[in-house]
């Protein structure tokens, strides 16, 4: 069942509370209550409104039971989230360069460790670039992970130009014929214009060595971010050209619905899901499992 077994207890909505054993009439009160419950999953007003209106059109003035409503909700969310399982798209020649971005505290460094673990287990060689030069703890954490996972790491002095570290990391990946180069970047708010421009500079220096680099730009998004996740997706996509999302912290109290409006508005696929702190706690995102977990009927 993939991620479903791990997160079905986490992403449960209160849809079942709308129903009595004999079913419920679909009227304005029902639709209002349903809308409020859907919004609580962090999916936002747009998708919630679309689902509510579809149910209102299909079932108004009819008595329905929970499975009828859940079926429609699943169909609507699956339609919005429709995407293939998209792991990293590896290039045929030379290293595949992955740039990782996100706000402070989103779980970037841990996510990089988990991705590295996945790649190493699949037989890929990896070079890490510790371009978060402003936070010594991030460099130290990434260094510990690199030793643990047996991969090379390129670091810079504290406060050094992050773009220079990224440049050297890509150079090291080319020199050692590595399969993958993952470049960490400092956490920043999407509203910090100067820091967002720095991401553009990091991208530019990579293209000097590999014109198509970075091949992937992954936005690490905390599942508890709620609607602020939309602002993050927009800001980082504009500055860094994001190609996908790593959704983290689904092992906590996250409702997880934030991925829905991001997919709807920005067409960004969720590529991986982080479920814990261990290196193994990352799995490929699966739409079917996600929708089932979001709307689990388990008590």
Separation CA 296–CA 29 (nearest Å): 23
Binding residues: 102-109, 184-188, 248-251
Per-residue pLDDT of 206-229, as tens digits, reads: 999 999 999 999 999 988 887 788
Residues 179 and 279 in one domain: yes
At residue 293, the pLDDT reads 73
Tally of residues, the chain:
299
At residue 81, the pLDDT reads 87
Residue 87 lies in a domain: no
The residue among 51, 81, 111 that closes a domain is 81
The residue among 32, 51, 81 that closes a domain is 81
At residue 14, the pLDDT reads 60
CA-nearest of 265, 266, 248, 299 to 111 is 248
Overall domain count for the chain: 2
pLDDT band at 255 (very low <50, low <70, confident <90, very high): low
CATH code, domain carrying 53:
1.20.120.140
At residue 251, the pLDDT reads 60
The residue among 46, 81, 116 that closes a domain is 81
Residues 71 and 117 in one domain: no
Residues 109 and 69 in one domain: no
Spacing of C-alpha 199 from chain mean position: 19
At residue 19, the pLDDT reads 67
pLDDT band at 12 (very low <50, low <70, confident <90, very high): very low
Outline where the chain has alpha helix (H): 4-7, 28-38, 45-59, 66-81, 108-121, 136-149, 162-175, 193-207, 228-240, 259-266, 287-294
Per-residue pLDDT of 136-161, as tens digits, reads: 888 999 999 999 999 999 998 888 89
Binding residues for GTP: 102-109, 184-188, 248-251
Residues 63 and 154 in one domain: no
At residue 16, the pLDDT reads 65
Give me the DSSP letters along 82-103.
----------SSSPEEEEEE--
Per-residue pLDDT of 88-117, as tens digits, reads: 889 999 999 999 999 988 889 999 999 999
At residue 299, the pLDDT reads 38
**Which domain range does residue 56 map to?**
4-81
Residue 285 lies in a domain: yes
Residues 255 and 119 in one domain: yes
């Amino acid at each position: 069942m993939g991620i479903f077994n791990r997160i079905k207890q986490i992403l449960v909505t209160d849809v079942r509370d709308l129903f009595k054993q004999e079913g419920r009439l679909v009227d304005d009160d029902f639709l209002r209550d349903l809308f409020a419950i859907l919004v609580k999953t962090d999916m936002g007003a747009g998708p919630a409104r679309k689902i509510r209106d579809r149910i209102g059109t299909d079932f108004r003035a009819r008595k329905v039971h929970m499975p009828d409503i859940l079926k429609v909700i699943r169909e609507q969310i699956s339609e919005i989230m429709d995407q293939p399982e998209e792991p990293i798209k590896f290039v045929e020649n030379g290293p595949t360069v992955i740039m990782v971005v996100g706000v402070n505290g989103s779980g970037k460094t841990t996510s990089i460790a988990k991705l590295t673990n996945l790649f190493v287990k699949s037989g890929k060689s990896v070079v890490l670039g510790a371009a978060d030069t402003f936070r010594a703890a991030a460099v130290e954490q990434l260094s510990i992970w690199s030793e643990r996972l047996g991969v090379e790491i390129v670091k810079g002095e504290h406060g050094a130009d992050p773009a220079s570290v990224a440049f050297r990391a890509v150079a090291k990946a080319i020199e050692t014929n590595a399969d993958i180069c993952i470049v960490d970047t400092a956490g920043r708010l999407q509203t910090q214009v100067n820091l967002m421009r720095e991401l553009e500079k990091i991208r530019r220096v990579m293209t000097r060595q590999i014109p198509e680099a970075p091949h992937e730009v992954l936005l690490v998004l905390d599942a508890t971010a709620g609607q602020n996740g939309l602002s993050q997706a927009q800001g980082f996509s504009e500055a860094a050209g994001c190609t996908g999302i790593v959704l983290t912290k689904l092992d906590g109290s996250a409702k997880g619905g934030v991925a829905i409006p991001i997919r709807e508005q920005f067409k960004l696929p969720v590529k991986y899901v982080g479920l814990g702190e261990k290196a193994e706690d990352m799995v490929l995102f699966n739409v079917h499992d996600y929708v089932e977990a979001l709307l689990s009927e388990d008590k």
